[in-house]
Structure 1
């Protein structure tokens, strides 16, 4: 008992060493063996341990075992990682007479995807006894004329086992006439009964012998057949073939009627005893007789059915030549037909464990699918070349084991470029001509959040008229994200750092619409500059931003205010007064800007009299020489101050004048032209100097304005104001291209750069502000630049 346990331990150790060696030499293949007919639950091997897998990770990694064409003979207990016998395994049913019988398993685990190849050899046990095709075999042997040593072929027993379990020895029951003999042949072991001495029919007409076949298994099994030998009289020459064994080669798929071989047997007898008929022996399988036929008269063996190398590659036909004597005698030969393979089976390709969709951030080397190929042909006809089409796609095939391939990622993926790949796996054997097959598979690519929302432009410029209604929609921003699903779901918000703008502007988180929360006042705020951010809903989320500049456009909403008139009224004016004499000046201010703040002064026509007012200077002067009091000693002048807005707003100012006659002054004024000839009054000379000074200052001011405009235009040519898809165009504000300078302070709210503060501004103003169109309707509130 101790020796038995030691032997078991030693065998177990040798088996583990053998497994390890096979694992190292077989590129990841495990080899086990188990005897056939093992009971359910029989231990085969610790497959998880041998594969280097932890038992605890079998279920999470979706451990599974695939056995192609071998049902469910074996199973793995995922609780302990042991491979065991699941159902009865009959080696003879599984592999027939093949010397090697194995079940090939594919063990697949995910996360990451890996495949292991396991081979379980099914060992033969001596569970089949030798079997004869019949319980009795009858032979006819002529008396006397049969010489000692003559052999008579017998059908041997068959044993479904292999190896020593199928090595048969024969024993003939004790007798004085016959002995049994078996020869060793390449394809067969012919069995014959040998005559030891001539037979005498008169002594014994029938010999009954027992033939026993015993195999070499442990324990030995045996089978028995009864031999009935009839002793015949006369016809002493049986037909004889010129060869005992004929060997023929035949291409598979040979057409029906193809001649395989023509046999010829001779008989030394004469007459009817010499006439021979040919037939298959009763020992020839009925299936073989369906594939081949023999002409009883000519001995020609022809193809009668389908010859398929993949089904049977060697045929053993036993032929009988029998004469027509009485009793008839027969001769025997053996025809061995070796079938040659032709390339008549196209390769087969199958795709298993397709792991899709593939995330676009998968690294190169990621296993996408497992592919197996097969070809039933042999030799070069069964060797397969596997390729992938189209080759430019970011995938490649790698060989993992014989006729097994992995489809792996060879390059980085980008779902935004290609969302799905259609691949074709092509296989072709090396036969002549070669045969091929293909299999199509679709590999979709899943999205990851690798693209931030982007706006069409880095910034937008918006023009909004002041006094807009609260909550007015002024613009819509839109960001695009090439990702899909939640990775492309964009929401909008204002930069949190721009909290001062929260009372002016808001953005709808889903639509990107910008709203003005309160009426804007150009006199308070001229520019709102801020950033709108767009964020997708991916994990982690990505952001983009755009700069928005909202310019507030001036409306004519402020009436001119007279700030200064003549000195304390009523004013005294001593007459006579020369024509063009400046009596006083009206000064007015307008809180608006540009064209809306450009003021002009007018006198009502009905009340103008000898007076006039400078259109833009506000100076009141006489239109002719006053040398007498008209309309009394006191006069009131009504001056109207208007701006250039549409509609214009106006204010009025009243000046009171008291006229006093001065005789000396009149005489002086009258005399001056006479004595002076072309000399001008002193007042006219002073006005001339004043006009020259004003023109000089105006010219200088205009030159400064022109230089400033040139510099601004050059700067704007470099930095174009963008709106929508085109380039913004500046609009000349007035009918004559007027300019206005306002020295009052303006407030600008900026959320991108610069601090809000006061500054003097030089503005281009326009009396005709263009209306904007949104969604097909005219909107007077919003004005933008015109896109080219």
Structure 2
């Protein structure tokens, strides 16, 4: 490095880097002249100082130099070869600008006089900066918490790094690590100069609960030095997700005879939030006969019936499921399930008026309509499709039923004969309305004052099989009170076990099961509804019958005597003809020539004399075992193969002139 000098030297200023010194001189008694440079760069750096000059000569000239003691510099003297001594400043220990930026030295030159003369030189060494320090972050790891859905531009954290170097060597810049995922660069923005990190894009806890950012701090030295620090951003959950309701299974049609506890749907409820924000409370509409039951799995529920259903009362339900989380503020989700109640044959046809009384003008035209009955059924479709028939059987009240016909579809009743007021003034018959539903349902009414052993009704069933396969056994499948009724397993008769009390229910349901004895047993069911009524209600119809009984007997006696005589004469003629035919048969006639005919021995009509009642009665046709309508004397016989319910109505016909 070039330095300047003057005739006298008093001080020297050096700007020292690893290879250079800058010297500035001022006048002194002993003068330093020349050029000083660093030499020996491969060993200890040394700086040649200008030698001092003394105007004396000989022994009084410059003899030696000395340097004030210090830890960094030392003095080395060399002979110039011309009798002069040249001082060298040697760097003994490395300099550190960050510890000490300047060093002050004092160089003294001594001559050989007595006393010796001296000259001093003040040397100031200024240490220049080198990029020997890398940036240092204030923390190795920065950990912060950030709420999801934070606004764009929201300040997150500031990374702070310092560099002990000077100038551009100490200026620090910040960048995000290159190995970070693209998503991190889309969410966070790092200020290159200040090190501040801000929100750049949407933050979603459900997408990622934590982000780890690698930040590099670099200075502007040549070459630059770099350090790394890590920023961990924990995302705090916010209640920003509503619960989700998923219906995994649904029976949108439920039978009205479903028992309580029947499962109609399975649902699962989820919430993407965490902790308390993800805890969900579920419920359903209160005014429906359904309830929500939790499963063994969390947030899985079943919807079950909690009471009996009645389609005739409510045929459709909208069940609203509500799922609400426990966040603040809470969020809710609603889902509505539509459930249709399907019909079962649980209602019997009903006549609007029972009994009915009609007036018939005598001498009516045979085959003409005399009256029309109508019944209604609360059920649907085939369960409400009604057909009508007239009960025909034994008993005075049914004598005239044989002369009546009813249209099974519309209930129009027509007379097959012309009635005469002078012969018949009044008669009664019973019309039964039956629906087409399954299973069969019968409604019976009995007075409350009956005793134990009273015959309520008889369940009659038929099986087309023969032998052991056609042997039928009856049993009670369901009964509301086992202490009240008993069923004969062989005959199907239902009888009371005891008398009724005031605490007994007024209506009882009995489900009858009948099975055959085949290898694979087949079965059918029927439901009997027994209504217990007060005695006056039960016998009102029988009182009406008794009041007209005498009139009936008197009016038909003459007619029956004539009919009996005619039939008796016909019977005698038939016997005579049969005897003649038997006598005229060939001797080789055998029974094998007889044709095998299917004949059940019934006549279209027959006359029967009942000695107990001292009267004759006209008996209608017997029905074969395979028939769908089986005659009965009291209208309380239930026939299983029909699989239909019926309602009976009593009609009282009064002849008029």
Instruction: Kindly name which structure, 1 or 2, has the bigger radius of gyration based on alpha carbons.
Output: 2
TM-score normalized with structure 1 length: 0.40
Higher relative contact order (CA 8 A, sep 6+): 2
